[in-house]
Amino acid sequence: MEVIKLYTQPKHDRKPFYDGGKGAPYKFKCPVCKAKNIIPFESLLHATWNWKEDFSKEELLNIQNLFGFGPTGNSHEGGWTCINFVSCKGCSEQLISYVGFNEYYNSLYRLTEQGLAHIRTDNLT
């Protein structure tokens, strides 16, 4: 995985873009072409536990370094790390998104945009 550019850097005190029950997607503009992309809530939730399985140790280290994950493995605002790879709907460029996913109460979630980078990888299918 080659990082072309990091557009959004993690912050401990970034405000969540969503606070509430299940179902909110993550919407973002592609930093390359400005097209709107959407990651459904289910994909976010799923990614909190399975995103690591898709990558080799080396790539995991790459991703950890890119976003500066600490040793606890928590996201920067204290939730779960949620990594999604997206091929932009507009320009087909490869993007990596990092959302802090915090279930702070039973079925109540705070979602925080913590990172967005333009990458090149052979791993996307």
Question: Residue 15 contacts by C-beta under 8 Å, 6 or more apart in sequence?
Answer: 112
Helix (H) or strand (E) holding 50: helix 41-50
CB of 27 to Zn ion, least distance (A): 14
CB of 94 to Zn ion, least distance (A): 10
Q: Coil, strand or helix: which one is 45?
A: helix
Q: Which residue, 30 or 47, is less far from Zn ion as judged by CB?
A: 30
Of 69, 57, 59, 68, which is closest to residue 119 (Cα–Cα)?
A: 59
CB of 10 to Zn ion, least distance (A): 22
Q: Which residue, 33 or 38, is less far from Zn ion as judged by CB?
A: 33
Q: Which residue, 30 or 66, is less far from Zn ion as judged by CB?
A: 30
Q: Which residue, 35 or 60, is less far from Zn ion as judged by CB?
A: 35
CB of 48 to Zn ion, least distance (A): 25
Q: What b/e sequence results for 40-57 when a residue is b if at least 16 CB atoms lie within 10 Å of its CB, and e otherwise?
A: ebeebbebbeebeeebee
Residues lying near Zn ion in the complex (CB under 5 A): 30, 32-33, 35, 88, 90-91
